[in-house]
């Protein structure tokens, strides 16, 4: 059974990513409660280099198909992102959120169901004036550098003026600073900071044991270890770590200027999975795919579980050869000019994919005093400024629509949920990482 922590309780949070830090901050804001908050992370410094939350950019969108829970949460988050920008401007710090708007493409002159649902939900919620539908001619006129894109079939889109991208690493740094200011304590590093197991007395969680074998007692433990969570706590197969890929191109000054009005985009995303970002201040154009992803099965917790494999432990990793081929084939149509560009950086980044795409932020049924905050399913970063408040309500056992939506799941995974391609397979030339040579352009003039 789970009960809310009393004032002055010691609360340990495992994981200093989006979920963990936002929770630490939210709990630390309530001075009357005077919680003693400790965050542990296996990484050496924040932002943690291979955390999902660490990146140059993440999309901040309110376009959520039929799912109005996340749409409204995104609207709340966007206001909070603007507030952060305003507070940072006073301190002469660069903004963490960029309101470029979103350009949401469908293909072949027809909106796909997902895009239709997006627009319907947005209009029904009274935000109809945020969006504008664009046909092929309007797209070409407004974004002349997308003429090939339109001619190749991505010829219908709507623009949402609300949304854009956040500099995710910078925003994690921002929140870390706020946590420090509020007295949150941090224990970092692969020995001192790495959660190894729970300290338990029957069902009762009394704290955690870290890799250096130290015991840390606590009144409540929150495990927010992202895609690593199922490999450190038995999640009853409710979430699995899936590797998703990202590639970067470096644009010439000329291309940067030509595409200066490029917003965050998605390209018939329910069918292709592809989305991307405008060039950042360093001329980097980032493209990613939201998909079923790849698995990296390992033997942990007496089970075969997909465990994140990242460039921290495998510094020469790029992205799967199959992923590169797929991205190049898509871009040949969507942004054909990238055919002549090298992929200058690539990375596999890990989702904690839940069985239904909803987060899992709930007391763990096997223990008392343990909360898990995971199952991000590849879409949580946009909520960074507000997700901690919702998690705090769950930690404090306050009822809310989020508590219900993110409760421990009482259902089975859909058929085929665990069947995804392998990231790498020893000795198989097709199931391997792309080489540096393969990442280079194959269509240079």
Binding site for ligand FAD (CB under 6 A): 14-20, 40-43, 48, 51-53, 58-59, 193-195, 224-228, 232, 244, 246, 288, 349-352, 374, 376, 378-382
Name the residue with the smallest CB distance to ligand FAD. Answer: 17
Q: Report the run of H or E that residue 401 belongs to, with start and end.
A: helix 401-405
- 140 or 276, CB closer to ligand FAD? 276
Q: How far apart are CA 391 and CA 405, in angstroms?
A: 12
Which residue, 58 or 140, is less far from ligand FAD as judged by CB?
Answer: 58
Phi, psi for 285 (deg, rounded to 5): -105, 115
How many C-beta neighbours within 10 Å does residue 316 have? Answer: 8
CB of 409 to ligand FAD, least distance (A): 17
Nearest approach, Cβ of residue 221 and ligand FAD (Å): 12
Task: Name the residue nearer to ligand FAD (CB basis): 40 or 265.
Answer: 40
Q: Angle at which helices 68-90 and 168-181 pack, to 10 degrees?
A: 70
Residue 19: which of 159, 132, 175 has the closest Cα?
Answer: 175
Tell me phi and psi for residue 402, to 5 degrees: -75, -40
**Considering beta carbons, is residue 305 or 380 the nearer one to ligand FAD?**
380
Nearest approach in angstroms of CB 93 to ligand FAD is 21
How would DSSP label each residue in 176-206?
Answer: HHHHHHTT-EEEESTTTT-EEEEEEETTEEE
Nearest alpha-carbon partner for 387 in 93, 38, 69, 39: 69
Q: How far is the CB of 385 from ligand FAD (least distance, A)?
A: 12
Question: Cα–Cα distance between 257 and 307 in angstroms, integer?
Answer: 41
Give me the least distance between CB of 375 and ligand FAD, in Å please: 8
Judged by CB, which is closer to ligand FAD: 232, or 251?
A: 232
- Min dist CB 163 to ligand FAD, Å, is 10
Q: Which residues contact 212 (CB under 8 A, 6 or more apart)?
A: 191, 192
Task: Specify the residue, 142 or 379, whose C-beta has the smaller distance to ligand FAD.
Answer: 379
Q: Which is nearer to ligand FAD, 140 or 390 (CB)?
A: 390
Q: For residues 11 and 215, give the distance between their C-alpha atoms in angstroms, rounded to a whole number.
A: 14
CA distance linking residue 12 with residue 214, whole number of Å? 14
């Amino acid at each position: 059974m789970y009960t809310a922590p009393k004032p002055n309780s010691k609360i340990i949070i495992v994981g200093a990513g989006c979920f963990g830090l936002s929770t630490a901050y939210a709990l630390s804001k309530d001075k009357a409660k005077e919680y003693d908050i400790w965050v542990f992370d296996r990484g050496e410094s924040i932002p943690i280099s291979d955390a999902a939350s660490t990146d140059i950019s993440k999309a901040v969108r309110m376009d959520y198909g039929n799912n109005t829970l996340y749409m409204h949460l995104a609207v709340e988050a966007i206001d909070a992102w603007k507030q952060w920008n305003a507070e940072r401007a006073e301190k002469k710090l660069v903004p963490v959120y960029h309101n470029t708007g979103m350009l949401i493409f469908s293909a072949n002159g027809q909106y796909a169901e997902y895009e239709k649902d997006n627009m319907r939900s947005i209009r029904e919620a009274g935000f109809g004036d945020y969006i504008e539908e664009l046909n092929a001619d309007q797209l070409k006129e407004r974004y002349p550098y997308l003429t090939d894109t339109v001619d190749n079939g991505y010829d219908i889109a709507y623009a949402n003026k609300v949304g854009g991208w956040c500099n995710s690493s910078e925003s994690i740094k921002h929140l870390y600073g706020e946590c420090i200011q509020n007295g949150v304590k941090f224990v970092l590093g692969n020995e001192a900071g790495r959660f190894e197991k729970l300290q338990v007395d029957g069902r009762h969680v009394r704290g955690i044991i870290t890799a250096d074998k130290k015991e840390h007692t606590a009144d409540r433990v929150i495990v927010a270890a992202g895609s690593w969570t199922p490999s450190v706590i038995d999640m009853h197969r409710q979430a699995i770590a899936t590797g998703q890929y990202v590639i970067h191109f470096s644009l010439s000054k000329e291309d940067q200027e030509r595409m200066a009005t490029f917003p965050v985009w998605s390209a018939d995303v329910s069918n292709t999975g592809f989305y991307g970002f405008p060039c950042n201040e360093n001329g980097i154009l980032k493209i990613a795919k939201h998909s079923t992803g790849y698995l990296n099965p390992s033997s942990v917790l007496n089970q075969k579980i997909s465990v994140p494999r990242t460039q921290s432990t495998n510094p020469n990793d790029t992205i799967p050869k199959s992923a590169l081929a797929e991205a190049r084939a898509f871009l040949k149509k969507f942004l054909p000019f990238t055919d002549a560009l090298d992929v200058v950086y690539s990375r596999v980044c890990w989702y904690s994919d839940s069985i239904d795409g909803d987060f899992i932020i709930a007391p763990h049924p096997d223990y008392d005093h343990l909360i898990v905050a995971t199952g991000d399913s590849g879409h949580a970063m946009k909520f960074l400024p507000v997700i901690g408040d919702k998690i705090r309500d769950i930690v404090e056992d306050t009822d809310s629509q989020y508590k219900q939506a993110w409760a421990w799941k009482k259902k089975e995974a859909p058929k085929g949920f665990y069947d995804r391609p392998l990231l790498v397979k020893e000795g198989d030339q097709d199931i391997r990482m792309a080489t540096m040579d393969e990442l280079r352009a194959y269509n240079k003039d």
